[in-house]
Amino acid sequence: MLLWPVRKFGRAHPVEVPRRRRWVAIFSASAAAAWCVPLATIGAADAAVAGPAASWRTAIKVPGLAALNAGGNAFAASVSCASAGNCSAGGSYADGSGHTQAFVVTETKGRWGKAIEIPGSGTLNADGAAFINSVSCSSAGNCAAGGEYRDAAAHAQAFVASERNGTWRTAIEIPGTGALNAGGSAFVNSVSCSSAGNCAAGGGYRDGSGHDQAFVASQA
């Protein structure tokens, strides 16, 4: 079994994910000649259809993140690619005051730019605990990111930020979630964009009775 971290209301919970198994059935000795093909032959046929295998390049440090991550606790939580060599990634880092901040970084034509704190997220994140949980890109330079931050009352709130033509705009609390989130535990868990400026986000919040509830929001 695999253990895969799933974020739920600001915490990571291990969930067991079963591995897929491949089964091979031999029906009968008499049918073997008609139905069985040497595995080497199958592998060669698959390779011919798939073409040359793509190779991963050597991993690199996220450019610019070391300067932001003075507290030494950074990770990338989500990556999305609109086309070959045009991607964005988001996550969090610890600043010099030990506060957790949200960052994004964009790859353009195969070159990664410098990581930046999401504009406006530092102002929202008065209590110093912000995270990116999801990034989605519809085309090169047009993406959205969502996550959570802690406000001045130490309540977790849900936020989103949009990238337009390669520039990240100011992060905002998702409209209406503040009123829903009477229990002070809201977050964005997933973002998806179909085209520039047309996205949806989903996540959770805690109502006034202490119950965990789900929300969705659309950008148009």
User: Averaged in consecutive runs of 10 residues, what is the pLDDT profile of the chain (220 residues)?
Assistant: 44 41 37 43 50 84 98 98 97 97 97 98 98 98 98 98 96 98 98 96 98 96
Q: What is the pLDDT of residues 175-203, one digit of tens each?
A: 999 999 999 999 999 999 999 999 999 99
Task: Name the amino acid, one letter, at 62.
Answer: V
CB 115 within 8 A of CB 107: no
- According to DSSP, the residues that pair with 212 across neighbouring strands are 206
Give the model's pLDDT for residue 200.
98
Report the alpha-carbon distance of residue 75 to residue 136 in Å, rounded. Answer: 17
DSSP per-residue string spanning 121-168: HHHH-TTSB-EEEEEEEEETTEEEEEEEEE-TTS-EEEEEEEEETTEE
Report the alpha-carbon distance of residue 145 to residue 134 in Å, rounded. Answer: 6
Q: Residues of CATH 2.120.10.10 domain(s) within the chain? A: 65-219
Q: Given this structure, which CATH class describes domain 65-219?
A: mainly beta
Residue 169, classified by CB atoms within 10 Å of its CB into exposed (0-12), middle (13-18) or buried (19+), is: middle
